[in-house]
Chains A and B, each alone.
Chain A
Amino acid sequence: MLNNENQGRRDFLKGTATGIGFGTLASMGLFSYSPLREFFLPKIERKFADFGACKSIKVTNISETSWFDNATLMGDIKGAGGLLVNQYDFNWAPFGDGTGLAKGSYDRGIATIKHLLPEKVDEAWDIQKKLAVNADNAGGFSCLMDVERLDGSRKKYLLDVGWNYQWIHKCFKREGIDKMLASGEIDTIILSHEHFDHFYGLPVAMKYNPNVKLIIPEGFYKEGLQYIKDSGHTGELVIAKNGLYEIEPGFSTYVFDVPIICRVFGEQSIFANVQDKGLVSITGCCHQGIIKFANTAYKELKYDNDQMYGIYGGLHISPFDDWDPKYDDLVISLGKWDFKKVGCNHCTGLLTAEKFIAAGYPVVKGTSRFRSQSHSYLGNGDIINFG
């Protein structure tokens, strides 16, 4: 009798243990991907943070050609060990030390030119041409943002400072950036992120105004912070924390804690609210992704007409003319955000721009000058107006 009871209890426990597994797995399979699951999903509550408005914004493309030959750059990346290798180890200019690909270091590289910065940037680059790997392939990304305030006054900001000292120096002179820096007309530089092609050209800007205010996103490594000092910067350094950083009414940066290739971490992009038009997104590389960027604005910010109005910059989709089906997801889904003006270039990738055009998106075409490769892009020297 006792044995029977015991056996019955044991059978019950075995059944219960089996049933728990069965019930849990059945619920997982039947409920987790059904429409009913939305009941438990966090609800999106739009915050409508008011960051003001500006009247218009004009963006001048100083340089979007970060490198001139994809195969050369990718050859370097492959040779060094792939996309996760620390960017300061590549032996790329301006941190070349003559030891060859993937054997570089910030300290050894900067020691070869530090005494020339920031005054003799062209001479420093000549030294690096001999020491660094493929220095001539370097270009850089930089653009000028000219904000028209509601009272009609104007204010200029520089986004990023390129890579190759000599190339970006030439581009600065072509667009008059050297004079704007020297006169204080540009007194703030926003660095989107720490990547070589957006950041390494810093000494060229410092040559004309070392006292300029620098706004960088959190996530810079110690080498990057040291480079800011070694470039000759003497002005205010603002490290923007993740989230919204308001610069002036209608013009803010937004920092994303995004992991990026070559060991870089964190990027800030710019939101501008143009009166009666809507939101303009200006990006360096947009490693966070343009849809994430737009979706963040949708959830966090208040902007005119509740309209996504324009995009300018690198959208980091196929920067090396590579492709992945997830980029097709982006091309397919961008349309629902209803942007009215798309000015893309740089790491957007030519193939992406062509797919955007084929999908019927309002891509603003460029003039293909100053070594920019295609009319599908807003190229070097091109201007786009929002507002």
Chain B
Amino acid sequence: MEQPLYLEERSLVKRWGGPWSILLNTAFVLALFYASWWIFQDPRGIMRMYTPYVGYMWCRWLLVIMIWIAYIFDFWPFKRKWLNETHPVVKGVILTTLTVVLFTVVLKVFFETILGEYSIAYFSPDRLQELGIVEFYAEEYSAQAILMFAAIASWISPAWVVAAESSPWGNLKQPVKGFTILMFTFFISVIVYFVAFHSHMAILFDPWQSFTAITPPWWEDFANTVHGNFNIAWIMCCTVIVWIHETIWERYPFCMIKTNWLRRCSSFFGIIVVAIALSFFLYYAQELVWGEAVRGTRRLMSPDWRWLHVGEMAIFWLVPALFMHFYMKNGINGYSKPVNALFRTVVSVIAAVILYYVYYKTAHLFLGTQKGFSHPQQFPMIPMIWFINIMLINYWFMDGWPGWRLAQHEEAKQDVYAHDEVRMTPRFNYGLAVGAVCGIVVYFAVVYILPTFGNTFTIFN
């Protein structure tokens, strides 16, 4: 029998009634975010890792390692007793330190030494310097390759647990289960890396490394660029959709499928299909607001940045969705699962648009980033993922301290919401058809008003 994950098993209750717990945790997470941003990332701060790729690599990989700890290894080797009885702050410090140590090992041993010294030079900054690249770019190029790996892993690793339900290794005990899934998802990630990003890295150097990679890359004609940002777009959307599927959608609609293998396959590949649809739409939305991309331009008008911005926009959606899930119990729970999911989607998308507007309007005033949309060193993904990491530390590692605490046994079930089961009845099917038509209308209405919306809400003149 498969044991539920610790995160599924535990139950959190608010320490205080009303909005106080939410407000307190929001303030706590924001304070932690800003302090750590200043120490590690801010170009005006102490360590100044926002170069940008070094800082980007760290925040992407910390996210992946946290997923490994919480989802793949289910906090092994820590015992449930330790997890339940240790003070949340102590747990947070220990588990966060472990995350950093693990990534340091992965970075230095796996990427920079095993791969960089004995296999592919671009993973090692030292090798690149020996080949004539200046130190700054040697570190940037290497970090770029390593973070692209993390982009894939941050999609595949949780997808295997959430969508494929850890199958076929769900019944194994830890750490065998964790290592098995880690090895398998790592293997898949390596394949996706070579297909999606190796060609990008190969044309970073002159001449193009045509004997070791496909150059120009296979996506050139379709994406209107040779840049790997095309793959960043749909992979980032996959990462975001995995978590949307797990949190505010509560695995709906794939959870309707009763046959295990069909549900797992449908969920895993369905997430990819939804992510690709999302990435196409977010690219189109930019065309509607800013006009068609022109190949060879830089920044706002270039196809490569537009694809990158697809991923950035998706991350803007993930932040409010996770916030709703962690601190508001998904926010809307009074209806059936599909209706809840729809309302949560609408609310989180509106919140994402507001966050997007506020971020671009103000981030340069307090994060040390550059004003404007498309500066090569302006990566909203870094502060957004950094913020998500802080939320994960708070919610996964610290049990939502200080606003929440672990529930005692008798309190454990109080927040569970009962839903009707969703069945494919004739009325459901009729509603499905009507809804599909409405969905198409909604899509074209959005497409129609986006240019006007873009002109009305101008962020930078």
Contact = CB atoms under 8 A, between A and B. Distances in A.
Nearest to A295: B294
Contacts of A84: 43, 50, 52, 368-370, 377
Nearest to B55: A82
Contacts of B175: none
Interface stretch (A125-133, A159-167, A252-260, A273-281): A252-260
B288 A42 contact: yes
Main secondary structure of the interface of A (DSSP, over half): helix
Interface residues of B, number: 95
Contacts of B203: 325, 328
Contacts of B216: 328
Interface stretch (A55-63, A73-81, A186-194, A303-311): A73-81
Nearest to B291: A42
B292 A329 contact: no
B438 A295 contact: no
Given A8-B427, A37-B287, A84-B377, A263 B370 contact: yes
A176 interface: no
A326 interface: yes
A289 B295 CA distance: 11
Contact of B439 (A27, A37, A258, A321): A27
Contacts of A324: 204, 227
B115 interface: no
Given A257-B460, A289-B302, A329-B302, A22 B228 contact: no
Nearest to A42: B291
B225 A329 contact: yes
Contacts of B370: 84, 259-261, 263, 265
B439 A24 contact: yes
B80 to A, nearest CB: 37
B48 A19 contact: no
A74 B339 CA distance: 54
Top 10 A-B residue pairs of the complex, sorted by shortest distance between their CB atoms: A19-B435, A23-B439, A15-B431, A81-B48, A29-B277, A333-B296, A289-B298, A259-B372, A27-B443, A23-B436
17 contacts: A9-B427, A13-B338, A18-B428, A24-B443, A30-B277, A257-B372, A259-B299, A260-B370, A265-B370, A265-B372, A288-B299, A289-B296, A291-B297, A292-B301, A323-B206, A326-B302, A328-B226
Interface of B: 43-45, 48, 50-52, 134-137, 139-140, 200, 203-206, 216-217, 225-228, 252-253, 273-274, 276-278, 280-281, 283-284, 287-288, 291-292, 294-299, 301-305, 335-339, 341-342, 345, 368-372, 374-378, 420, 422-423, 425, 427-444, 447-448, 451, 460-461
Interface of A: 8-33, 37-38, 40-42, 44, 70-71, 74-75, 77-78, 80-86, 89, 242, 257-261, 263, 265, 287-292, 295, 320-326, 328-330, 332-334, 351, 355
